[in-house]
Amino acid sequence: MRILSDRMAEQGSRQDRGSHVTELESCLAGLAVAAWRDYRLWGRFFELFHGAMRWIQFPERQWPRGGEATIMPDNNRGCVVWLTGLPASGKSTLARALAAKLHVRGRSEVLDGDDIRAHLSRELGFSRADRETQVLRIAFVAQLLARNDVFVAVAAISPFREARDRARAMIGRMLEVYVATPLDECVRRDPKGLYARAIAGDLRDFTGIGQPYEPPLEPDVILDTSTMATDECISRIMTKLHTLGYLCVGRHWDNGAPVRGRGQSRTIRST
């Protein structure tokens, strides 16, 4: 009887252990199912966490250069280079060349006034009020890009000082570049034939002919593409960006090779 009692007790203990194991397996299976169902939620959480890490600013970082570690501030944040000048003065050419130069330091974009008008300002004309609205729209897009660490090259006539000043106030980190190519040279170039039409009276409110252009009083850089090559112009802009602290010289080698991965340089173009 004692032996039978011991065997029954042992069997009961095994059943209890089996019951616990079954309950544990059920619990784990339930957790696995819940995790599988909510994997998108967790994936979104880690995506947001990874994105939030971009905004954590460390005061100093070490970047290897020439075999030695140097401590450099992280100044390669976004900024806006605003090129203003008469039509056909060379603004778009300089903007594209500048974006190509800057893309090794991060993402870069070109905002061309003609393309913005074709896509975002189709309803606007060329009156003073409409031109100011156009400038402010470009400034709004530019500051959105710049605050997300994008280098922005704006090529826009932007003929009125007040609108340009409002754009600078909106953007903050902005370099104003006056492309001071003489009117005679712009008329000679006339790549779209607009000067000829304006002189013939077919185009009203054309900047430089039927509507005045107000040069900047204190631009950060002055360029004349009739006497300066594109590379020289870009070199002066880059030098000024370094001087103002918008670019960190030590973070990249002098030959332009980046320490971190290359970004992308894109231009918003008409289709």
Average pLDDT over residues 73-85: 80
Burial per residue of 169-179, b for 16 or more beta-carbon CB atoms within 10 angstroms, e otherwise: eebebbbbbbb
pLDDT of the residue at 163: 97
What is the C-alpha separation between 173 and 241, in angstroms, rounded? 10
pLDDT > 70? residue 136:
yes
Number of other residues whose CB lies within 10 A of the CB of residue 44:
11
Asked whether 137 and 191 are in contact (CB, 8 A), the reply is no
pLDDT higher at 177 or 33: 177
Average pLDDT over residues 170-192: 96
Per-residue model confidence as pLDDT tens digits over 32-63: 555 545 555 555 544 554 554 444 443 443 33
Per-residue model confidence as pLDDT tens digits over 139-157: 999 999 999 999 999 999 9
pLDDT > 80? residue 74:
no
- What percentage of the chain reaches a pLDDT higher than 90? 58
Q: Kindly report the pTM of this predicted structure.
A: 0.66
pLDDT of the residue at 58: 39
Average pLDDT over residues 245-250: 71
pLDDT of the residue at 263: 43
Catalytic residue numbers?
Answer: 158
Asked whether 122 and 51 are in contact (CB, 8 A), the reply is no
Distances (CA, A) of 106 to 57, 149, 220: 17, 8, 23
pLDDT > 50? residue 98:
yes
Give the domain 79-267 fold.
Rossmann fold (3.40.50)
